[in-house]
Copies of this chain bind each other. A is one copy, B any other.
Amino acid sequence: MSTKERIIEKTLELMYQQGYLPTSLGQIMEASGVGKGQLYYYFKSKKDLGLQATETLLARWDQELIEEILRTTKPVQERFAEMLEWVYNFQDQQDSATFYGCPVGNLIVELAAQDGDFRRLLADFMNRWTAAIAELLELLHEDWDQEKIHRQAQQILARIQGSLVLLKLNQDLQVLQEAIEDLKQNYL
């Protein structure tokens, strides 16, 4: 793994746990074992690093979640269920003893109202996710019109995000599990 990749990886980790603003370049340097000036060789500012790290995360989710789960040729129900399991497993498989919620949702809450660049990145990804869910709903509910499909896709995302907020609060997977079961019941 190249130095730049290592920096981004550690940044992603720290941003997930602490947020973007509270994560200092000092922490990132230390965690990635890199000299003082090196960060500014690869990134022109902290924000540039934050943006690139975020892009890396979102590209990864585009691949793992949207391409490899939502847009496969498997049966629709299976894809829907796999998405929910992917969300659950993301939390369950964390090494840390603490649940940090959703990496994307956290950034939305921290930055969306303050920084247009981050907001755009995050909104674009969420739109892609919404669209991919909508494609599923279209197959599942042939009687719904486009608008209803889109709105329901958003509602699904809202329920996932909300569950992850409560997971972070309660440090307990139960609410997330329940949300997943409800979603399956409601939409499948």
Q: Are A179 and B158 in contact (CB under 8 A)?
A: yes
- Chain A, interface size category, equals 35 or more
| A174: min CB distance to chain B, Å | 8
Q: Note all chain B residues with C-beta closer than 8 A to A123.
A: 169-170
Binds B, one of A72-80, A107-115, A135-143: A107-115
Q: Note all chain B residues with C-beta closer than 8 A to A165.
A: 105, 108-109, 158, 161-162, 165
The 9 A-B pairs with the shortest beta carbon distances in the complex, nearest first, are A162-B162, A158-B162, A161-B162, A109-B109, A158-B163, A161-B165, A108-B169, A112-B168, A151-B178
Binds B, one of A7-15, A17-25, A52-60: A17-25
- Would you call A155 an interface residue if the criterion is a C-beta within 8 Å of the partner chain's C-beta atoms? yes
- Would you call A101 an interface residue if the criterion is a C-beta within 8 Å of the partner chain's C-beta atoms? yes
Q: Note all chain B residues with C-beta closer than 8 A to A166.
A: 126, 154, 157-158, 161
- Would you call A159 an interface residue if the criterion is a C-beta within 8 Å of the partner chain's C-beta atoms? yes
CB-defined interface of A41-66 with B at 8 Å, one 1/0 digit per residue? 00000000000000000000000000
Q: Note all chain B residues with C-beta closer than 8 A to A112.
A: 168-169, 171
Question: With A and B bound together, what is the CA distance between A155 and B155 in angstroms?
Answer: 12
Q: Note all chain B residues with C-beta closer than 8 A to A100.
A: 113
A-B contact pairs, 9 of them (CB 8 A): A21-B22, A112-B171, A113-B171, A123-B169, A123-B170, A155-B159, A155-B182, A157-B162, A161-B165
